[in-house]
Amino acid sequence: MSSFFADLHCHSVMFPFNQQQPTVWHEHMHPVYPSQGDFIKLAKGKIRVLFLSLYPVEQGFLTFNQAGLETGGITDALAHLVLNMPKKRADEIQSRKHNYFTDLLKEYDFLQRFADPYQKTIYLNLFKRKKFKFRIVSDFDELSSTLNLDSDLNPNPESDDTIAVILTIEGAHSLGMGQLNTLELDYSVLSAVLKENISTLKRLGPPGKEGFHCPFFISLSHHFWNQLGGHAVSLWKLLGKVFDQNTGINEDIKDLGKLVIDELLSKDNGKRILIDIAHMSVKVRQWFYYTYLPERENRTGEKIPVIVSHAGVNGFASLAESEMQGTPATIHEIADKLYEKSKKFNPWDCFQPDEEILIIHKSGGLIGLNLDERIMMGKEVLDAARKNARWKLPRVADVIWIEPLIEEILHIAGTIFSETRDDSVIWDNICIGSDFDGMITPIKAYNNAIKFPKLDKMIFEQLRKRINREQFLINKSDSEIREISDKILWKNALRFLKEHFSSRRNISVTSLITFLLLTIVF
């Protein structure tokens, strides 16, 4: 069993920040949404590499236009019921003066206040307690020294009291877009705001260490219209009726979105921030893969890895085939009907078809598998899992609930194997991106970060059972299966960080030429 784990996507700050708790080390106890990935559970579950997703709550979650409810007392009450969010905080988000970027910086400041050297004493059981801390790391070298990694990326047991945090962001609305007060502003005003905010973001860090905490990646899209590009359907049934995703849904990239991606990936204004394609519409993803990235590579010579931090397999062959067709007014009904008829995988187009799996593989990117039960499986499989796991002993239920995740893993590996015929590379892009505390409904046997050791054990055992059934697993030894599960649970994430996570300001070709010319002149 692995001694530690990595999670590519987790919202560990969302509950304590939005509930205005006194510390980020808060364990949220709630009958509707108990916390899944708070720092206490992360520590107990041996998560030692955490891609922490900062997320300013979107105004769309607090204005229930579809249900005829705008801002006010009813929405405040619902926010308190679901999130335990104080009325003052709900009113702040609903305000026309609310600024997502300011909110993002406040969330970062809240997190930073409780980072190393702050320590939290945690009771591991009735008789044992231990002090833990987390450190926001600036690059792979700092991560390696924080965890005392050896040459094989294994941590030193003496460092098992520390969580290394890599900052990420969900939704480029975080840059100050898609707000009630920006929807009517023109391109010239908004482009200036975006450039300034991205520049500020790339300088993030404590005094004297500006830029050390520049986020590693950010998703362009999330649940609601952000003026940058289309988002995919992500809310179902009642949620799709209550919350208004219609504006901008399934649209193409916008000029402001092109600007944002250029500025984020640029090295002229600080460190490069990679793009997470989660929640992008199919049209935006097709533009990103087949127009933007090739043109950029021809221009700069850089190959950009593609990341989807919290994902699922949809079972389609291509992006075009998987794209759900409908108007903004009908698309949620179409999506719900499609899921009702689904079998093995969730067929929604916000998840990954084979074409996209291969794009990510060829780019050297990462696929973080989401632990939400609907994202992991189609309706037929989900209904069967719920029925078969009911009243079963935990050990039996553990096997039932791990099967859909194993099927996703094998599908990704099989898709890559069919293209490469090389079983040594087919596991290299798969990670866990739990989306804990992102308001998901996780598979019951693995419903919070404490369950990661059990998740690791079951992935290993279930892959080992298939050594005579899967072409690319035939005759694999236990040590080879262990290597595969280690890749999925932590090693792929660390190898990716080793290659792409650098705190040193990357000098662009333009900057280098300018420096050389100045040197010659003076």
What's the angle, vertex CA 278, arms to CA 405 and CA 86, rounded to 5? 95
Q: What is the rounded distance in angstroms from the CA atom of residue 220 to the CA atom of residue 231?
A: 9
* Residue 440 confidence (pLDDT): 93
Which of 421, 488, 424, 411 minimizes the C-alpha distance to 456? 488
Give 499's contacts (C-beta < 8 A, 6+ positions apart).
364
Q: What is the rounded distance in angstroms from the CA atom of residue 122 to the CA atom of residue 133?
A: 10
Q: How many of the other CB atoms lie within 10 Å of CB of 25? A: 21
Is pLDDT above 60 for 514? no
Q: How far apart are the first and last CA of the chain?
A: 60
H-type helices in 341-378, by residue range?
354-363, 373-376
Query: Is 495 in a helix, a strand, or coil?
Result: helix
pLDDT (tens digit per residue) in 43-61: 999 999 999 999 999 999 9
Quick one: DSSP state of residue 370? -
Question: Tokens for 388?
Answer: 């078969």
State the pairing for strand pair 47-54/129-136: unpaired
Contact call for residues 202 and 211 (beta carbons, < 8 A) = yes
Contact call for residues 327 and 269 (beta carbons, < 8 A) = no
Is pLDDT above 60 for 503? no
* Mean predicted lDDT score pLDDT of the chain: 92
Contact call for residues 82 and 18 (beta carbons, < 8 A) = no
pLDDT (tens digit per residue) in 443-478: 999 999 999 999 999 999 999 999 999 999 999 999
Q: What is the rounded distance in angstroms from the CA atom of residue 38 to the CA atom of residue 362?
A: 34
* Residue 78 confidence (pLDDT): 63
pTM of the model: 0.94
CA 357 to chain centre: 16
Q: How many of the other CB atoms lie within 10 Å of CB of 521? A: 6
Q: What is the rounded distance in angstroms from the CA atom of residue 211 to the CA atom of residue 200?
A: 9
Percent helix, strand, coil in the chain, to 5, is 45, 10, 40
Question: Tokens for 55?
Answer: 């997320």
Question: Tokens for 516?
Answer: 């050389």
Query: Is 430 in a helix, a strand, or coil?
Result: strand
11: burial class by Cβ within 10 Å (0-12, 13-18, 19+)? buried
Average pLDDT over residues 99-123: 97
DSSP string, 274-299: EEE-TTB-HHHHHHIIIIIHHHHHHH
pLDDT (tens digit per residue) in 399-455: 999 999 999 999 999 999 999 999 999 999 999 999 999 989 999 999 999 999 999
Average pLDDT over residues 316-336: 97
Which domains, and CATH codes, for the chain?
5-521 (3.20.20.140)
